Amino acid sequence: MLREEGSQTLQQDKEEKKGKNISKVEFPDLDAAKMVRGSNSIDLLKDIPLKVIVELGQTVLKIKDILELGVGSIVELDKLSGDPVDVLVNGRLIAKGEVVVIDEDFGVRITDLVLDKKTKEKNGEENAGQEA
């Protein structure tokens, strides 16, 4: 019964649209260069939340070792005490830092920004141009 009512409604909609003037909408072309140059373009992104992870270290354990873990177990990591920790944003390493205590919470003091290859090349090209 519902199918019959639904198909009747669709048929009525089709008949109503036949009498109406329907035209295609045309949008103007977007100029990417103008959009990027806008001073507020980065402001659109500033409120987007990103996942930040601070990683003390890593290790690889066999399943049998994981099954033996319990309260009081110690897992040895690949970093020494006092080594810088990794700061990852959305899974990508962006900085290194040192663990600090803020009141009763842990925090990280950034000690080094990690630049990707493209950024390093760009900075190297700019610095070379400035020295000349």
**Residue at token pair 């020295």:** 131
Strands (E) located in the chain: 52-55, 85-89, 92-102, 105-113
On whether the CB atoms of residues 94 and 114 are closer than 8 A, the answer is: yes
DSSP state of 27: P
pTM given for the model: 0.56
What whole-number distance in Å separates Cα of residue 89 and Cα of residue 48? 12
On whether the CB atoms of residues 77 and 61 are closer than 8 A, the answer is: no
Identify the structural domains of the chain with CATH numbers, from first to last: 51-131 (2.30.330.10)
Per-residue confidence in pLDDT tens, the chain, 132 aa: 545 555 666 666 666 666 677 888 888 877 765 655 555 678 888 899 999 999 999 999 999 999 999 999 999 999 998 899 999 999 999 999 999 999 999 999 999 999 776 666 666 655 554 443
